């Protein structure tokens, strides 16, 4: 199978040094394996995505010396694929509509108990208030959740291979951890037709991704993605979670760190090789 990887930015702000590192690392890995580097625009959250940020992404990545096959996959054009995945999970009896807002969830969760995790990779662990509701009861105001207890029973739980520096090795999905430390994740967010987890799983499969290269902040979410792959009968890529680029005080860069935006370095006369050096990548292999 040809090594195929991707860079999957959300067009909700400027690309900064951390994005440049992620994109160049994935591109370098693909080139050194004689493989393919794909770009995917994660614009499922249309309330935050902006065409000008998307245009800036293409410009910055080209300037960094990266290229990719066209057309680029855009999540906003893929709602039917996400719906098909949801239908598959619903047919297995694993989904339910949830009307709780943040305050409802906090109130139902009650006081923190020692040793019981409150937050997982999908945010606050859902206390289960709406779990007995049926898919047919869904209204436009609901989110759709995965019933984790049923999901781990329905799935033939797999292991995944991680090649990144922080968590190298084989990681087996664990039913108890998924139930207690992840919980009933959101498959469809309000007004979005999907969620990050559902989209990334459908997209990686449809793009034929063999190696998912991304930041270490997404390592904990990987168990969700592999579980969905088990349930949807999709292949599991090899994962490579790279270290995060941090600012001088050790804080990881965020979208609002405009000071580290690639466009700003460009405007100040930096070259792509300068950027490679700043993030600790060797000079361009080409």
The footprint of ligand GLU (CB under 6 A) covers 8-10, 42, 200, 214, 218
> Measured from the CB atom, is 44 or 86 closer to ligand GLU?
44
Structure tokens at 202: 């459908």
Of the pair 157, 244, the CB lying nearest ligand GLU is at: 244
Cβ atoms of 232 and 201 closer than 8 Å:
yes
**Closer residue to ligand GLU (CB): 143 or 200:** 200
| Nearest residue (CB) to ligand GLU, 100 versus 201 | 201
State in angstroms the smallest separation of the CB of 96 from ligand GLU.
25
Distance of alpha carbon 131 from alpha carbon 98, whole angstroms: 8
CB of 114 to ligand GLU, least distance (A): 32
HSE-up (13 A, CA, CB side) for residue 178: 24
* C-alpha distance from residue 224 to each of 51, 77, 110, 142, 229 (Å): 30, 23, 25, 21, 9
> Which of 9/121 has CB closer to ligand GLU?
9
State the minimum distance, in angstroms, from the CB of residue 110 to ligand GLU: 32
Give the shortest CB-20-to-ligand GLU separation in angstroms: 13
Token pair 């096959």 is found at 69
What's the closest the beta carbon of residue 201 comes to ligand GLU, in angstroms?
9
What is the bridge-based pairing of β-strands 73-74 and 36-41?
A: parallel
In degrees, to the nearest 5, what angle opens at C-alpha 97 toward C-alphas 95 and 99? 150
Of 137, 96, 122, which is closest to residue 225 (Cα–Cα)?
122
Write down the least CB distance from residue 113 to ligand GLU, Å. 31
Phi, psi angles (nearest 5°) of residue 153? -75, -35
Q: How far is the CB of 117 from ligand GLU (least distance, A)?
A: 22
Residue whose CB is less far from ligand GLU, 97 or 260:
260
CB-CB contact of 256 with 222 (8 Å)? no
How far apart, in whole angstroms, are the C-alpha atoms of residue 261 and residue 257?
A: 7
Residue sitting closest to ligand GLU (CB): 214
Q: Which residue, 42 or 54, is less far from ligand GLU as judged by CB? A: 42
């Amino acid at each position: 199978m040809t090594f195929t990887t991707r860079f999957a930015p959300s067009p909700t702000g400027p690309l900064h040094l951390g994005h440049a590192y992620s994109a160049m690392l994935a591109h370098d890995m693909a080139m050194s394996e004689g493989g393919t580097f794909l770009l995917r625009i994660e614009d499922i959250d249309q309330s935050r995505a902006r065409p000008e940020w998307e245009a800036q992404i293409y410009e910055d990545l080209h300037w960094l010396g990266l290229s990719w096959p066209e057309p680029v996959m855009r999540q906003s054009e893929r709602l039917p694929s996400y719906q098909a995945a949801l239908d598959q999970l619903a047919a297995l009896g694993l989904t339910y509509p949830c009307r709780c807002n943040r305050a409802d969830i906090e109130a139902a969760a009650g006081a923190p108990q020692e040793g019981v995790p409150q937050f997982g990779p999908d945010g606050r662990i859902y206390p289960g208030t709406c779990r007995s509701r049926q898919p047919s009861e869904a209204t436009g105001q609901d989110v759709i959740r995965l019933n984790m207890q049923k999901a781990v029973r329905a799935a033939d739980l797999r292991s995944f291979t991680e090649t990144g520096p922080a968590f190298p090795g084989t990681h087996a999905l664990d039913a108890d951890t998924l139930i207690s430390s992840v919980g009933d994740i959101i498959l469809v967010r309000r007004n979005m037709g999907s969620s990050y987890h559902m989209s990334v799983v459908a997209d990686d499969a449809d793009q034929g991704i063999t190696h998912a290269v991304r930041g270490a902040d997404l390592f904990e979410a990987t168990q969700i993605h592999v579980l969905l792959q088990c349930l949807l009968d999709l292949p599991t890529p090899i994962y490579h979670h790279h270290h995060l680029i941090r600012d001088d005080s050790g804080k990881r860069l965020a979208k609002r760190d405009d000071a580290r935006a690639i466009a700003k370095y460009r405007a100040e006369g930096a070259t792509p090789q300068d950027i490679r050096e700043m993030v600790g990548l060797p000079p361009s292999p080409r």
